[in-house]
Amino acid sequence: MLPAALSFIAFSLQFGLVHRIMLAACLFTTGCGRQLWYAPPAQRPSLGEASLGSLSHFVFMSQPDADRYIVQGMRPKSEGPWRWAHDHPVLRFYVPEVGRVNFQMDFSLPESNFHQTGPVTMTLAINGRFFDRVRFDKPGQQQYTHSVPVELIHPNDVNLVAITPDKTSGPPQSGERLGFVLTSAGFAE
């Protein structure tokens, strides 16, 4: 019985050694073929990396420096994570040369104002040129996203965005016309 067991152990060791050699040869030869080479994709700055001073491509009204983005038509201070826009707000953003971008805006049409105005149509212009006109038929939180034609953007420069609601409301005694409540706005890829 002992010679048979020794014979089996010797066979197992040889068989295992042969398999290990074959496995090593297979692994070694798989790396020896001709490899196709592909150029890396073109590199361009991300919107998140570019800024002009502290001016960037996007703003949240809750940011401490949100005033830097406001050219006109907004209440002088934030009222939490949002700010009231008047009848012709204009914002500014630094947009790097990144190709196609979208303009995005998160805002609200408060129920109390909507009760006075009804549906609101907003006209958007970028750098003084018409960009889009969109109607909002219900009050509450709204999100707007639209692709921007590249010819409207001034790459590596400050870009102005005007947002004009067709109707505003407000108490007659204050003289303040309120259009919508802005939470965030800017350009994104």
Please report the pLDDT score of residue 54 as a whole number. 77
- Per DSSP, the residues of 49-85 read G--BTTB-SEEETTSTTGGGGEEEEE-SS-SSS-EEE
Mean pLDDT of 138-151: 97
| 120 or 50: which leads in pLDDT | 120
Please report the pLDDT score of residue 4 as a whole number. 54
Mean pLDDT of the chain: 82
Residues 6+ apart with CB under 8 A from 135: 119, 120, 121
Residue 21 pLDDT level (bands cut at 50, 70, 90): low
- Has residue 144 got a pLDDT over 70? yes
The fold for domain 47-188 equals Jelly Rolls (2.60.120)
Residue 77 pLDDT level (bands cut at 50, 70, 90): confident
Residues 6+ apart with CB under 8 A from 130: 123, 124
pLDDT, tens digit (0-9, with 9 covering 90-100), for 30-73: 555 555 555 555 444 445 544 445 799 999 999 999 999 999 99
Residue 171 pLDDT level (bands cut at 50, 70, 90): confident
- Domain ranges across the chain: 47-188
